[in-house]
Amino acid sequence: MKKFVLASNNAHKLEELRAMLETYGAQVISQRDAGAFIEPEENGATFEENSYLKAKAIMDACGMPTIADDSGLMVDALGGAPGVYSARYGGDANKSDADRVAYLLENLRGVPEDKRGAKFVSVITMLTPDGKKIVARGECAGRILTERFGTSGFGYDPVFYYPDAGCTFAQMSAEEKNRISHRARALQEFVKQAFL
Ligand code: IMP
């Protein structure tokens, strides 16, 4: 069985990627369980760069095949922000997902529905100690609502409306989200390159 370390301390991401990769017969363990307690700096300008930086730092620390996902939300009316800064949107003033969602809604106040387009992006990088590298990108388009709906998922899920499903990511079951999300799409692309 294939075994990968996930370069992340985000429990939600671990659960999502674990559930998705299990269906391909692969096992995902957390970086902590692999003995890597560091938090690599994400100072790249793109999802690709950050995803590589995380995978490289954790692979170097634990010496096992490692996958990293760098993801974020790009909002058209904000020129693609928060983008690679999604986890830190608004800086130290915003300490929680709820703070960051409130900040996003504030920044989009008064923007009409047809200008609230946005997409989630995920870039997965896998590196192995013997020098293999796979990079896979997935995107999922929707729009930002003016208030929150639903309680599942994490991050910006409650305000991200996905037209094909007619609801927000936070109103979907984990299984539904894992079928269509940006991470699911990046992972499908990853699996194509890695296993097929
Ligand atoms: P990363 O850990 O640097 O990749 O940060 C990703 C950030 O983007 C998260 O902290 C969330 O704010 C946001 N994000 C990424 N994927 C999702 C998702 O599936 N739902 C909601 N927010 C997400």
Here the contacts of 95-101 (C-beta below 8 Å, separation 24 or greater) are 97/154, 97/155, 97/156, 100/155, 100/156, 101/148, 101/155, 101/156, 101/158, 101/159
CA–centroid distance for 187 within its chain: 11
The residue-averaged pLDDT of 129-146 equals: 97
Q: What is the pLDDT of residues 75-110, one digit of tens each?
A: 999 999 999 999 999 999 999 999 999 999 999 999
Q: From the CA of 31, how far away is ligand 1's center (Å)?
A: 18
Query: What percent of the chain is predicted at pLDDT more than 70?
Result: 99
The total number of structural domains that make up the chain: 1
The residue-averaged pLDDT of 12-38 equals: 92
* DSSP letters spanning 168-185: EGGGS-HHHHHHHSHHHH
Q: Which of 94, 156, 183 to mutate to test the pocket of ligand 1 (most atoms within 8 A of CB)?
A: 156
The answer to whether residue 196 scores a pLDDT higher than 80 is: no
- The reported pTM is 0.94
The CATH number linked to 6 is 3.90.950.10
CB 104 within 8 A of CB 146: no
Q: Which of 73, 74, 85, 171 to mutate to test the pocket of ligand 1 (most atoms within 8 A of CB)?
A: 73
CB 181 within 8 A of CB 165: no
Range of the domain at 116: 2-194
The answer to whether residue 55 scores a pLDDT higher than 90 is: yes
Q: From the CA of 69, how far away is ligand 1's center (Å)?
A: 9
Structure confidence at residue 34 (pLDDT): 96
Q: Could you give the angle at the alpha carbon of 66 between the alpha carbons of 95 and 48, nearest 5°?
A: 60
Pocket of ligand 1 (CB under 6 A): 10, 42, 70-73, 86-87, 120, 153-157, 169, 181
Structure confidence at residue 1 (pLDDT): 63
Give the pLDDT band (50/70/90) at residue 13: confident
Q: Whose C-alpha lies nearest to ligand 1, atom 8?
A: 72
Q: Whose C-alpha lies nearest to ligand 1, atom 22?
A: 155
Structure confidence at residue 49 (pLDDT): 98
Closest CA to 148 of 169, 176, 178: 169
Which residues are part of the catalytic machinery? 70
The residue-averaged pLDDT of 32-61 equals: 96
**How far is the C-alpha of 145 from the C-alpha of 113, rounded, in Å?**
8
Q: From the CA of 87, how far away is ligand 1's center (Å)?
A: 6
Give the pLDDT band (50/70/90) at residue 33: very high
For residue 28, give both structure tokens.
């995902």
Q: From the CA of 94, how far away is ligand 1's center (Å)?
A: 14
**How far is the C-alpha of 23 from the C-alpha of 179, rounded, in Å?**
11
Give the pLDDT band (50/70/90) at residue 16: confident
